[in-house]
Amino acid sequence: MLHRATTPIPADQGPALERPPVHLGLARRPRRNRKAEWARRLVRENVLTADDLIWPMFLVDGERRRDPVASMPGVYRFSVDEAVRAARRAFELEIPAVALFPYTDAALRDEGGSEAFNAENLVCRACRAIKAALPNLGVITDVALDPYTSHGHDGLLHGEEVLNDASVSALVDQALNQARAGADIVAPSDMMDGRVGAIRSALDDAGFDAVQIMSYAAKYASAFYGPFRDAIGTSAALRGDKRTYQMDIANGAEALREVALDIAEGADMIMVKPGLPYLDIVYRVKMEFGMPTFAYQVSGEYAMIAGAAANGWIDGRKAMLESLIAFKRAGADGILTYFAIEAAEHLRAG
């Protein structure tokens, strides 16, 4: 039996090695590019900046209100005056846009979601106030009826069926109401067939041809939406589930068909929702279509990271940044995230 000679390391240099260093003669050593922070920065493939972030904001009626959302640590519902103040912070951090979602009082909800068409509803008032104070901050409004319906569905309900074409007509009226309030981007999140084309046509006919459409083209019937529904008050209201119009979580090729339809109908930007569990879809959409592609780091994703960090189980800041860079690596041009302010503050601090 052959015995390899060993050269012990002196005691003051640590425990003895049983083998001397082996010179492998490798021409390629990937670790050379990782040896120092400056080297890692030089070869970094993806970079996260504030330009990549959109901040979803929850709204509530009243004045001087910042109501915490219990299932989303660090997230609040803002009254309109507080939403303007919060949006100003986003603007100072160079976040390009905010997205507005209302908590609608139960007394204002009905079967037809009529509050969605009220020019003085919470979203429209917040939109006007934010644009008046911060004209160069983008404002995105959600086109879906679920915050306004007594049954919690994104469209109109007849018995147990969510009606497609009647819902599209209502969504067109909602989008026009938001455009009149000054929305820069309307974002249909309802997943009704044909709604992007109908909204585009109506906006153009009404003189809102500059208003962009960010389509939730691939929105899955996910279990990760729970905290969001708490935040807008639809958890208790929802009758049944949304699987007849939101996508089956097992499907991938179907997402490409959905995206193709929305592009053909006039969508300016494409959304995949949720985010981290569907990075494969983000990648496939970006590679297939080359369109501006966005992903939504939804409430359940946020709550898992924030909750684990609050319990000391993970490093919250590092997990936040790792999750956000994952979207960039998958091909997303931007991310809707409740971490937007915290992430932008960290990026500014360096």
**pLDDT for residue 236:** 80
To the query of whether residue 328 is one of the catalytic residues in this protein, the response is no
**pLDDT for residue 1:** 42
* Cα-Cα-Cα-Cα dihedral sign, residues 151, 153, 154, 155: negative
Is 107 a domain residue?
A: yes
pLDDT at 118 over 60: yes
Report residue 15's pLDDT band, with 50, 70 and 90 as the boundaries.
low
Q: Is 0.85 surpassed by the pTM of this model?
A: yes
pLDDT at 6 over 50: no
How does pLDDT run across 16-28, given as a tens digit for each residue?
557 777 888 888 8
Q: Which of 131, 242, 273, 328 is catalytic?
A: 273
**pLDDT for residue 4:** 45
pLDDT at 241 over 60: yes
pLDDT at 342 over 70: yes
Cα 99 from Cα 239, distance rounded (Å): 26
**CATH code, domain carrying 196:** 3.20.20.70
How does pLDDT run across 68-100, given as a tens digit for each residue?
999 999 999 999 999 999 999 999 999 999 999
Identify the CA nearest to 339 among candidates 74, 106, 161, 31: 74
Is 223 a domain residue?
A: yes
Is 20 a domain residue?
A: no
What residues have CB less than 8 Å from 220, skipping those under 6 apart?
A: 246, 247, 248, 249, 273, 274, 278
Is 111 a domain residue?
A: yes
Given the DSSP bridges, would you call strands 76-78 and 334-337 parallel, antiparallel or unpaired? unpaired
To the query of whether residue 318 is one of the catalytic residues in this protein, the response is no
Is 33 a domain residue?
A: no
Is 73 a domain residue?
A: yes
Please state the rounded mean pLDDT for residues 97-116: 97
How does pLDDT run across 290-302, given as a tens digit for each residue?
999 999 999 999 9
pLDDT at 32 over 90: yes
In terms of residue numbers, what domain contains 68?
48-349
Please state the rounded mean pLDDT for residues 253-274: 98
**pLDDT for residue 182:** 98
**pLDDT for residue 81:** 98
**pLDDT for residue 2:** 42
How does pLDDT run across 303-339, given as a tens digit for each residue?
999 999 999 999 999 999 999 999 999 999 999 999 9
Please state the rounded mean pLDDT for residues 189-197: 98
**pLDDT for residue 239:** 86
* Lowest-confidence segment of 29-38, 84-93, 134-143 by average pLDDT: 29-38
Please state the rounded mean pLDDT for residues 223-240: 90
How does pLDDT run across 275-289, given as a tens digit for each residue?
999 999 999 999 999
**pLDDT for residue 22:** 80
Report residue 171's pLDDT band, with 50, 70 and 90 as the boundaries.
very high
Cα 56 from Cα 140, distance rounded (Å): 9
Cα 272 from Cα 5, distance rounded (Å): 59
**What is the number of structural domains in the chain?**
1
Percent of the chain at pLDDT above 70? 95
Is 30 a domain residue?
A: no
Is 117 a domain residue?
A: yes
Averaged pLDDT of the chain: 94
Cα 16 from Cα 253, distance rounded (Å): 56
